Structure 1
Amino acid sequence: MKIVRETKIFQGLVLRSFPYGDSDLILKIITDTSGKVGVIARRARESRKRTGVGTPDLFDQGTIQVTVSSGSLLTLKEFTLNESFRPKCDYIDGVTCASVLAETADSLIPENADCGDSPFRILKLSLEALSEATSRKTALRATFMGIANLLIDSGFLPEQSKPSPTSNGLRELLDLVERATEKKLVTKSSVAQMLELLKGA
């Protein structure tokens, strides 16, 4: 008997990826319909030429087609790139800021939660603003706004309590993310280094 698997199509943005088994990847993706989901990219660590399936990179945004296997397991079937993150500012600064935005979203947004499309829109707009940033200062400001909006949308920060968009304000937001999620942000120290470099400029 042939097993019929359900197919889903959504807009998504890649937050994280990590190895799974000998040749697969697990992708953590923020979507426009289902909050955050985990997707298995089969044989993604092998040559793309051999697999014939495009696997999105970190921070890529596009149309994602998945099949639903047993339970809620999602398997990547097809990915069509819409936007790729290409910072205009210093590349390391851009990737650092994008990484802390992605880690914040990954920490704050539960998997398979019914949270509408607002987290996806916030992260998409934040990465677009970050892509257009031409200096360390504007990159950090875009990061501040993105994290603040994610915290507000998640209910952890009242709009009227949002700190000023300063270095100290960004530090406050990162501390709040850690308190809200009870998890340390791995990327926080890299942002702290950027803030120190900005102070010394």
Structure 2
Amino acid sequence: MLEKAEGIVLRTINYGESNVILTLFTREFGKVAVMARGAKKTRNRFRSVSQPFVHGIFLYYKGRGMSTLNQGDVLHSFPDIRQHIVRMSYAAYMAELLEKTVEEREKNPYLFELFLTLLEQMEFGHDPEVLTSIFETKMTLQAGIQPELTKCVCCGQTDQIVSFSVKEAGFLCKRCTDQDPYAIHLHPKTIHLLRLFLHIDVQRIGSISLQKETKEELKRVMDAYYEAYGGFALKSKRFLDQLEKWNW
């Protein structure tokens, strides 16, 4: 049975001497693994679509086991991302986070459009660290671990929010923050951005420029939160953290 889907390559794995297994995230069918036979060969017709982050149209045979790629047409290859190690590292982290949090053939057009739009904005030169923070915040819903960002998680107060509690999974107000000695105290701008990132339509945002201190606070919150509740270890995240240390 032939299936046709618009997809983005999340991951590639070499298989044998010349084959490549592609993990696609498709608009129509969610996450799908396909075998691109001979894709490692220089003149093979699948070589161009068997690269990370390639956005294309894929036609493949769906069988009982691994699907087999029949045809692939590139819509956008995102060359600026793949040729720039920092952008590529952030994109790889987003791709792995997406792959880990969606099930096989779990259709989710919203997530497809979200990931594609962020790749496009990264290609245009928007700050990859900010785009990744937006993605991480939104993906808490997909992962089933969305924190309480509208009010104090303890008393329900919406005013005087001053910190984020990993333990309580949400914001704490000034009165309740002493209940968690490990609560992360946040600047008001960081509190605003976490709320904004959770609900913002990424197709309507322009380039967001943030100070280093603000980005560090956002990273501290998301790193601690995913470490506590994510339930998975990502190779791309370890590399990205090391890369950030080198750049700083």
SS across alignment from 1:184: coil
Matched, 1:119 2:111: yes
Q: CA deviation at 1:154?
A: 3.7
Deviations 1:79-116 (A, max 9, x none): 11111113379811111111111111111111122x32
The one-letter code of the counterpart of 1:63 is I
**Residue aligning to 2:218:** 169
TM-aligned CA deviation for residue 16 of structure 1: 0.4
How far apart are the structure 1 equivalents of 2:81 and 2:68? 33
Distance 1:54 1:132, change over 3 A: same
User: How high is the TM-score relative to the length of structure 1?
Assistant: 0.80
Q: 1:180 Cα shift?
A: 4.4
**Residue type of the alignment partner of 1:68:** K
Matched, 1:185 2:174: no
- The aligned residue for residue 32 of structure 2 is 37
Q: Which residue does 1:141 correspond to in 2?
A: 130
Kindly indicate whether the alpha-carbon contact (under 8 Å) linking 2:102 and 2:142 is maintained by their aligned counterparts in 1: no
| Contact map agreement 1:174 1:188 (CA 8 A) in 2 | no
Structure 1 residue 157: Cα displacement: 1.6
- Residues 99 and 174 (structure 1 numbering): CA distance in 2 closer, same or farther, change over 3 Å? farther
Q: Please, what TM-score do these two structures have when normalized by structure 2? A: 0.66
Q: How many pairs were matched up?
A: 187
Query: Which has the higher Rg, Structure 1 or Structure 2?
Result: 2
Q: Give the SS at the match of 1:155.
A: coil
**Equivalent position of 1:73 in the other structure:** 66
* 1:18/1:26 contact within 8 Å kept: yes
Question: Following superposition of structure 1 onto structure 2, how do residues 15-30 of structure 1 map, counting pairs within 5 Å?
Answer: 15-30=10-25
| Structure 2 stretches lacking a partner, 5+ long | 150-169, 172-190, 195-213
Partner SS, residue 87 of structure 1: helix
**Unaligned stretches of 5+ residues in structure 1:** 1-5
Which residue matches 1:7? Answer: 2
The SS at the match of 2:128 is helix
Partner of 1:126, secondary structure, is: helix
Greater relative contact order, per chain length (Cα 8 Å cut-off, separation 6+): 1
In 1, distance between residues paired with 2:74 and 2:82?
22
| CA shift for structure 1 position 58 | 0.5
Displacement after TM superposition at 1:54 (Å): 4.4
Match of 2:146 among 154, 157, 161: 157
Residue identity opposite 2:8 in structure 1: L
Alpha-carbon distance in 2 for matches of 1:55, 1:75: 16
CA distance in 2, matches of 1:14, 1:46: 18
Secondary structure of residue in 2 paired with 1:133: coil
Task: Indicate whether 1:129 and 2:178 are aligned.
Answer: no
Contact 1:178–1:185 (Cα < 8 Å) also in 2: no
* Alignment partner, residue 64 of structure 1: 58
Deviations 1:50-72 (A, max 9, x none): x4444411000011111112x15
Q: Which residue of 2 aligns with 1:3?
A: none
